[in-house]
Structure formats: structure tokens, C-alpha cells
Amino acid sequence: MYTKEEQKNLKTTPEKILILEDNPKYQILIKESLLNEFDIIFEVNDQMGLEIAQNTIPNLLIFNIQALRIDVGSFLKLLLW
């Protein structure tokens, strides 16, 4: 159960989505689709994306596998540490 203050924060604080995407066309499409309802953070660099994910702890992480400079398994291991 949430307190009244926690419920208020849940309603007023948008969910954070971190998106690792290097294609500007997809960035625009995603931004236009989600910006009004979510707090969107874009990053094109996988290393910076990991840093942001570890510091801000987004509610959702969406990434383009082809945009990664490291393999997906290594990326996920680094993300979880």
C-alpha cells in the first residue's frame, strides 16, 4: 500500500525511459510518440547510456542492438552491475 504522498508522486512523476538509438529518424519518431507521457532520455553512445542507466535508474530501457559497440551480453552484464 502506498501512502497518500507516494500516490501523489506516482501520479505526478512521469516514468523515465532511456533510449539508446543512433538513428535520428527513429529518435524523432519515438520522441513524438512518447514525449507527452514519459520523461525520455536519449543517448547514442552505449558507454554513456550505461552511465546514465546506472545513475538515473530508468523505468524502461530501449536500445538498438546495432547501435551498441559491444556485444549485447556484455552490455547487459555491465548494466546489471
Lowest mean pLDDT among 16-30, 46-60, 65-79: 65-79
Instruction: Copy the grid coordinates of residue 27.
Output: 529518435
pLDDT band at 9 (very low <50, low <70, confident <90, very high): low
Return the CATH fold of 4-80. Answer: Rossmann fold (3.40.50)
For 30-49, write each residue's pLDDT tens digit: 889 988 889 999 998 888 98
What is the SS3 assignment for 18? strand
DSSP 14: P
Mean pLDDT over residues 72-80, rounded? 85
Of 78, 77, 79, the closest CA to residue 60 belongs to 79
Angstrom distance (rounded) from CA 16 to CA 39 = 5
